[in-house]
Structure 1
Amino acid sequence: MPAEPLTATPGPDDEIPLPGGNVGGAVRVGDTVRRPTGPWTPAVHELLDFLAAAELPRIPRVLGIDDRDREILTFLPGRVLDIGRETLSDAQVRSAMHWLREYHAVVAGFPRDTRRWRFVERALAPGEIVCHHDSAMYNMTFDGDELAGVFDWDVAGPGIPLDDVAMFTWNSAVLFPDADAAEVAHALHTIADGYGGLDPHAVLDHVITRMTDAADRIAAAQAAGDPGMLRLGEAGEPANTRARLRVLASRLPELHAAVDATR
């Protein structure tokens, strides 16, 4: 009778691929995460170090660069919800929005001079901050209803706070093409109220602007040969985003009416 197969337990130096990773591909090594670097990495590390010094919670800490030129970050606890299969609870949305507002308040003090970000090299314009620019549920971990961590800061760069709110809104299931209008309206109110001081109509309209800009940036980076953005092309981007945007634009009157009807 053959022996039962042994189940290997990962050692402290074993690399465990992390889910997702359409852009870069990350692996876990012990209590750290290793990710590819690029010309934007020094600016991102400066940003993360600034946030750490300001004691902003729920972000990875920079530990250095390994011998394969990968960045070394602390591993964040919590669970990532499966986009397309799971939806965020209202409490999770509010927790994420509370953190996002706190992040925007802290990062407003980040030095405004020129840096090389992933999509642009310039200083911050008046009214701009450094946005995360991919503050979506697939880049967040949760512990129950509480946000536990926010990762994947590679596309951070100049923007306005509403950019991050619009990105979060776009990547929640409520803006999928077949989403029920009343559910969309409820989610928009929850997002706007969770962040505080936002008009849900403005959030909805800005999604069109923000995601059109995102599609254009991805296409430009693909034309320039950015390996991470080329991998997004293999996943159908930015064509998928542009197709969804056309559907969303056609539904705007219906969705704005639903927002009004829920108050």
Structure 2
Amino acid sequence: MLEDERDDELHDELHEEVVLPGGNVGGAVRVGATVRRPTGPWTPAVHELLGFLADEGLAGVPRPHGVDDRGREVLDYLPGEVVPVGRVELTDAQLASAARWLRDYHRVVAGFPRSSRRWRFVERALGPGEIVCHHDFAMYNLVFDGDALAGVFDWDTAGPGVPLDDLAMFAWVSPLLFPDADAARLAHGLRVIADAYGGVDPETLLRHVERRVTDSADRITAGQRAGDAGMLRLGERDEPASTLRRLRLLVARTDEIVAALARG
């Protein structure tokens, strides 16, 4: 055994495992300054992606450190505050900070090699106009330092997509989290995200949500049929059925929200 491997094992023994909140798909524990999570066939591609982003100097990304003696991936722990879904809403400043980070991520990841890789839901190269999206850029996968985004985790569903996919997912699980809310309030959140990201029309963002969320539901269903343990855990939480019910409510209000965007 190499000296650094012995040091890593000793380091693990000196720190107890702390179960982190969330973990509906894979589950995660903190061990000292690292996070340990289950792996899958997609893990090598995700680690290549994270290593690339860290080497490019993108802030807020956990650097991978291989796997531990239990076969779990080892990632940097990202300190910060996770906003509880459904109990506290993101502030306008947090929405804007996250959208700006997403713009920077999309700029940096455009340089990632476009050759074929095994991602969680697909194995193929990037197509024209595609990048590697996070695909679950939602408030439960973000940590903040006050109003500033401090880190983005849970990259295991990353894979080919278009930039608007990530923006639409962020909108879906932030300002559109409660689609029966006041239309002006929903429209305001969409404008904050679109303005901070830049070059995106908030109505276009709204209309892309239906496609993006439907795609996500289809992936979850396909994963459940294939026996993906993480997707099966989502099924225990009534997914994707609950998401599709909420999406139908949003779609029924699209014209109302578009009108509110126009008034704004």
TM-score when scaled to structure 1? 0.94
TM-fit CA distance, 1:174: 3.3
Verify: 1:200 aligned to 2:206, yes or no. Answer: no
Q: Which amino acid aligns with 2:204?
A: A
| Preserved CA contact (<8 Å) 1:181 1:254 | yes
Verify: 1:97 aligned to 2:99, yes or no. Answer: yes
Q: Which amino acid aligns with 1:92?
A: Q
Tell me the matched-pair count: 252
- 1:21-170 matched pairs, under 5 angstroms: 21-170=23-172
Listed one character per residue, the Cα deviations across residues 102-124 of structure 1 (whole Å, up to 9, x for unaligned) are 00000000000100000000000
| Preserved CA contact (<8 Å) 1:173 1:179 | no
Looking at structure 2, the residues matched to 19 and 175 of structure 1 have their Cα atoms a distance apart, in angstroms, of: 19
Looking at structure 2, the residues matched to 190 and 241 of structure 1 have their Cα atoms a distance apart, in angstroms, of: 23
Q: Report SS of the residue matched to 1:174.
A: coil
Computed over aligned residues only, the root mean square deviation of the Cα atoms, in angstroms, reads 0.9
Looking at structure 2, the residues matched to 189 and 249 of structure 1 have their Cα atoms a distance apart, in angstroms, of: 18
Q: Which amino acid aligns with 1:154?
A: D
Looking at structure 2, the residues matched to 52 and 78 of structure 1 have their Cα atoms a distance apart, in angstroms, of: 18
Looking at structure 1, the residues matched to 218 and 143 of structure 2 have their Cα atoms a distance apart, in angstroms, of: 28
Looking at structure 1, the residues matched to 176 and 242 of structure 2 have their Cα atoms a distance apart, in angstroms, of: 16
Identify unmatched segments of 5+ residues in structure 2.
Answer: 1-12
Looking at structure 2, the residues matched to 259 and 201 of structure 1 have their Cα atoms a distance apart, in angstroms, of: 7
| Preserved CA contact (<8 Å) 1:83 1:173 | no
Structure 1 runs of 4+ with >2 Å offset: none
Partner of 1:8: none
| Preserved CA contact (<8 Å) 2:175 2:190 | no
Deviates more, 1:124-133 or 1:243-252: 243-252
Partner of 1:189: 191
TM-score when scaled to structure 2? 0.94
TM-fit CA distance, 1:216: 0.5
Looking at structure 2, the residues matched to 20 and 46 of structure 1 have their Cα atoms a distance apart, in angstroms, of: 24
Listed one character per residue, the Cα deviations across residues 113-158 of structure 1 (whole Å, up to 9, x for unaligned) are 1000000000000000000000011000000010000000000000
Q: Report SS of the residue matched to 2:50.
A: helix
Listed one character per residue, the Cα deviations across residues 143-191 of structure 1 (whole Å, up to 9, x for unaligned) are 0010000000000000000000000000014341321101001001000
Q: Which amino acid aligns with 1:196?
A: G
Q: Which amino acid aligns with 1:135?
A: F
Verify: 1:220 aligned to 2:222, yes or no. Answer: yes
Identical aligned residues as a percent: 67
Q: Which amino acid aligns with 1:189?
A: R
| Preserved CA contact (<8 Å) 2:82 2:142 | yes
Looking at structure 2, the residues matched to 163 and 63 of structure 1 have their Cα atoms a distance apart, in angstroms, of: 28
TM-fit CA distance, 1:12: 3.7
